[in-house]
A and B are shown apart, each in its own frame.
Chain A
């Protein structure tokens, strides 16, 4: 009898565990937390920004429990493939090069302009020293352009390099640079805007079945206009929408 009770309670326990497993599976959303307004750590120490609001809405629509994890940009793809988190939602442009390593959802942000920001108006790319963040499409563009590229691990350091004269200009997403240029009297947008990348999407490990759920959620947000509303809220009335 004792044996029977023990077996029964063990069964109940394992059933409970299996049940909990299916429902409490956590999807960990990996982001950089240093690229406002896409994603940043706010004054309360929480992940915030456009992608935080978007990601929470996508998870709610896909009925997933999501948690936010921050990781340095430099190692954000290797740490996804090795399973430290399950998605990258960090202003990452969809490129053919990245497609070989990870799977992207459809774009949730249209292809955006990349801009140069420097200390003086007379800027020519030829022969200039340009700061960009490591492993970004902007860094790749500068490396191919013939200008001297200096790379930094964080976006903030690329701007600091221009302020202290180490670089003639910083090259990054316009949405990141515009608020900085607007608030700092010394810094200004220089040169011509460049169109790079195929829009921003979420990255998942290759073959991850949750991609369909995320895609469906993004589609539904595009259809009912909530995605465009979010973009306008975070990127201003002039932002490109779907």
Chain B
């Protein structure tokens, strides 16, 4: 807080804005950008891991394993994100409470589902209803991260499965001819070579993931969209900084933020693609070789 901010109504425009933009509510708004970055930082590797597992499972020679992998990718890919988000979070939350309920209160006789209510005994409530607020917020965030990872893992799984099939068959046969086991061929030949084929697809998913972060707002998490709407709404003089409806400017700010963020991602992804194409038997790798020669 700047020291001249004690009485905002007396300030000139520049000082008023410098006070307004540094007040407590705005600091929380800036912090909420960290929520978005944290979501991306945790979800991206987790989704990649889910996708990798799904792709590897889909290639399995055991049909139940392959079936599970394919069913997962097909099912999640076929349901609209927003429906899956709203549905899955609810189901996950209720499943956790239901299982804990079965374990902790076996003597419970009342119906768990009573109309619109889902009532479990108080010991089974997750998190415990007398836990402090930050525990509840963390739990909500964890559920959201897990759901994002499931949804985007399915997309990654599809991309990685395609990338694995794109690695030239001759490479794998050569490895087998050298006497490598299936496992060795997978880890030493297939996996290192597939990334260059997977990268354009994974890059797209990353962009979609960035653009899907405002869904957090729908899940009741106080993200940047929540704060933009909250701070942009008109304020009477019950507040220290009264102003008319400024949602237009706040949402414009979010738009610029997302544009810059995706542009930076694009630049980084292009560099990574160039790096991975070096020495590869692909069109991009060929172009690099010719440019160097």
Residues of A within 8 A of B (CB): 21, 24-28, 33-34, 36-37, 40-46, 49, 67-69, 71-72, 75, 78, 81-84, 86, 154, 156, 159-160, 163, 179-180, 183
Are A43 and B129 neighbours in the complex by a CB distance under 8 Å? Answer: no
Give the residue name and chain of the A residue nearest to B117 (CB). A81
Query: Which of B28, B129, B220, B245 has the most chain A CB atoms closer than 10 A to its own CB?
Result: B129
How many Å lie between the Cα of A82 and that of B119 in the bound state?
7
How many Å lie between the Cα of A69 and that of B129 in the bound state?
13
**Could you say which residues of chain B place their CB within 8 Å of the CB of A24?**
130
Cβ of A39 to closest chain B Cβ, rounded Å: 11
| CB-CB under 8 A for A160 and B234, given A42-B239, A44-B25, A71-B220 | yes
**Could you say which residues of chain A place their CB within 8 Å of the CB of B237?**
179, 183
Are B25 and A42 neighbours in the complex by a CB distance under 8 Å? Answer: yes
Are B236 and A78 neighbours in the complex by a CB distance under 8 Å? Answer: no
Are B238 and A40 neighbours in the complex by a CB distance under 8 Å? Answer: yes
Residues of B within 8 A of A (CB): 23-28, 116-119, 125, 129-133, 136, 220, 229-230, 233-234, 236-242, 245
Secondary structure at the A interface, as helix, strand, loop or mixed, is: mixed
Are B24 and A159 neighbours in the complex by a CB distance under 8 Å? Answer: no
| CB-CB under 8 A for A36 and B238, given A44-B25, A46-B24 | yes
Option from A42, A67, A163 in Cβ contact (under 8 Å) with B245? A163
Secondary structure at the B interface, as helix, strand, loop or mixed, is: loop
Give the residue name and chain of the B residue nearest to A182 (CB). B236
**Could you say which residues of chain A place their CB within 8 Å of the CB of B27?**
45
Query: Which of A78, A159, A183 has the most chain B CB atoms closer than 10 A to its own CB?
Result: A183
**Could you say which residues of chain B place their CB within 8 Å of the CB of A75?**
220
Are A82 and B24 neighbours in the complex by a CB distance under 8 Å? Answer: no
Cβ of B27 to closest chain A Cβ, rounded Å: 7
**Could you say which residues of chain B place their CB within 8 Å of the CB of A40?**
238-239
How many Å lie between the Cα of A40 and that of B240 in the bound state?
12
| CB-CB under 8 A for A179 and B238, given A44-B23, A44-B25, A154-B233 | yes
Give the residue name and chain of the A residue nearest to B118 (CB). A82
Are A43 and B23 neighbours in the complex by a CB distance under 8 Å? Answer: yes
How many Å lie between the Cα of A42 and that of B24 in the bound state?
9
**Could you say which residues of chain B place their CB within 8 Å of the CB of A72?**
220
Known: A24-B130, A183-B242. 18 other contacts (CB 8 A): A26-B130, A28-B129, A28-B136, A33-B230, A34-B233, A36-B239, A41-B25, A44-B24, A45-B26, A45-B28, A46-B24, A67-B132, A67-B133, A154-B233, A163-B245, A179-B238, A180-B236, A183-B236
